[in-house]
Amino acid sequence: MKRYKIAVIRGDGIGPEIVDEAVKVLDAVSAKEDFELNYEEYLMGGIAYDVKGTPLPDETIEGCLNSDAVLFGSIGGEKWDKLPRDMRPESGLLRLRKALGAFANLRPTKVFDELVNASTLKPEVLQGVDLFVVRELTGGIYFGEPRAKEADVAYNTMIYTREEIRRIAVVGFDSAMKRRKKLCSVDKANVLEVSQLWREVVEEVAQDYPEVSLSHMYVDNAAMQLIRNPKQFDVILTGNIFGDILSDASSMISGSIGLLASASMGGKVGIYEPIHGSAPDIAGQGISNPIATILSAAMMLRFALGEINAADRIELAVKNVLKDGYRTRDLSAMGASEVCSTSEIGSIIANYVAKLS
């Protein structure tokens, strides 16, 4: 029997509750398939600062590097907001991504037919949307130096090297080849030099992918087009900050931020995590939606472990659970036959996984 080592980082806020449900579903699926998952828990974020005095303890980096994949919930909260930047929970996550070489963040957005009324957008705009954001994750303005905040001035640096752009563009084109072979590169080349280099390198990489149809779009237009006609997109390739913003916007296409999964990969070990944060406003109430984390666990099975049947099984179970009208509170106005708590919906999905033939 195949055995995999999974590093589990539950984190802060709703992190622990959503990760627990993903583990429940993973246990259900591994019981049906021929593999075993061994979990090892590590601290990161505010909880790690409280317990270890740092948001990213060395043993967390080491443990993750020695695993087959990392399943992560979310970090952050007001309690730690006043700490120096290096001690804040978010800095732990940024450093972990860097330490694992996870430079590519893959964020699929699919509209479940059952939730087509869950969005604030019209059903006819949404039906059939299936897009895939490839976001650069370890460069750009979030990491660029110099950076500082002084009394009356503050600045950051948006910086990309040719190599950083090339490797994320390759991920974008490879993703497009596995999908509908359309890639839209999003930048701000009319204003930013860094975007001009971005466009130049993307054009160069495109030479190796003659089957992929490439277009370029400015980020402000892309934000508008995502809302106006999201069906026009297949793969969106973009940098760190633009991808951060566009993928949150695309979450409303699916109906709730609590549905969107992601994979952060590129190095030896990938991090599988929902796109949302720690939702301190609802933490501990048992009302958060664990589906984004459950679908991230499915991405982990697919991309990190190659357990395609298991990943398909989870995705189908989620679809069927939504079809049968089960909803968490964030989706409850949308044709719910039953409003479920976090752990109830996790158990229902695990049961559906177990029942699938």
Choosing from 220, 323, 324, 355, the catalytic residue is 220
Interface mask toward ligand NAD for 90-129; x: CB under 6 A: x--x------------------------------------
Nearest to 255 by CA among 99, 131, 140, 113: 113
Residues listed for the chain:
357
Interface mask toward ligand NAD for 76-95; x: CB under 6 A: xx------------x--x--
DSSP designation for 300: I
Question: Which listed residue (30, 238, 264, 288) binds ligand NAD by CB under 6 A?
Answer: 288
> Contacts with ligand NAD in 2-61 (CB under 6 A)?
14, 18
Could you say whether residue 281 binds ligand NAD (CB under 6 A)?
yes
Strands 182-187 and 235-238: parallel
Nearest-angstrom CA–CA distance, 153 and 278:
30
**Of the listed pieces 54-62, 176-184, 201-209, 278-286, which binds ligand NAD according to CB under 6 A?**
278-286
Dihedral sign, Cα of residue 281, residue 257, residue 71, residue 316: positive
DSSP designation for 177: H
Does 142 qualify as catalytic in the annotation?
A: yes
Residue 42's DSSP bridge partners are 9
Nearest to 290 by CA among 6, 95, 23: 23
Does 188 qualify as catalytic in the annotation?
A: yes
**Of the listed pieces 181-189, 195-203, 272-280, 299-307, which binds ligand NAD according to CB under 6 A?**
272-280
Could you say whether residue 276 binds ligand NAD (CB under 6 A)?
yes
Nearest-angstrom CA–CA distance, 123 and 33:
37
Helix (H, G, I), strand (E, B) or coil at 105: strand
Minimum distance, C-beta of residue 87 to ligand NAD, in the bound complex (Å): 13
Question: Which listed residue (175, 185, 254, 278) binds ligand NAD by CB under 6 A?
Answer: 278
Residues in touch with ligand NAD (CB under 6 A): 14, 18, 74-77, 90, 93, 257-258, 273, 276-282, 288-289, 292, 330
